[in-house]
Amino acid sequence: MPPPHSHPGWPLGSAAARVFSHPGRPQGSWAIDSLLDSGADDSVFPEAFGAKIGLDLRHAPQGRATGATLAGVPLRYAQVILRLTDGREFREWPAWVGFTSVPLTYPMLGFAGFLQFFNAYLLGDHEEVELTVNRLYPGS
């Protein structure tokens, strides 16, 4: 089960949304809390995290992402296995995600590699998001 959020978003008092995922490869996996961002094109993790799970990103395909700050962020892409859990139900699938040297408070799960495989229902009055797999979901 994911740990409780220690730094709640100020506008919502104690409410915050986080996703608990296990990006990994055969040589390693690591659990990490991640932010779900329905406005993001890419799913992005820190490069240091890629090293923890055994990725060699030196020759990985490169790209750039532009966020809310409009500054270009360098990305190196790699395929990982994402595992998602709420502590009761588990999902696992292969995904191409970006890794960046830019410091991130939390990894970001955007459309590519994550939301492309789920339908997301935002339940504002419950302060939660409900994910259901869609027809593009390639995992188990």
| Mean pLDDT, range 66-82, rounded to an integer | 80
Whether residue 59 lies inside any domain: the answer is: yes
Identify the pLDDT of residue 116.
94
pTM: 0.77
Distance CA 58, CA 35 (A): 26
Whether residue 6 lies inside any domain: the answer is: no
Distance CA 120, CA 13 (A): 23
- What value, to the nearest 5°, has the Cα angle with vertex 70 and ends 6 and 35? 25
Q: What share of the chain is helix, strand, coil (3-state, %, to 5)?
A: 10, 40, 45
In angstroms, what CA-CA distances link 29 with 16, 37, 139?
25, 22, 17
Whether residue 7 lies inside any domain: the answer is: no
Residue 91: CATH number of its domain: 2.40.70.10
| Mean pLDDT, range 60-70, rounded to an integer | 77
Burial 92-106 (b: 16+ CB within 10 A, else e): ebebebbbbeeebeb
pLDDT reading at 119 higher than 90 = yes
pLDDT > 90 fraction of the chain, expressed in percent and rounded: 26
Task: Provide the domain count of the chain.
Answer: 1
Residue-number span of the structural domain to which 109 is assigned: 18-133
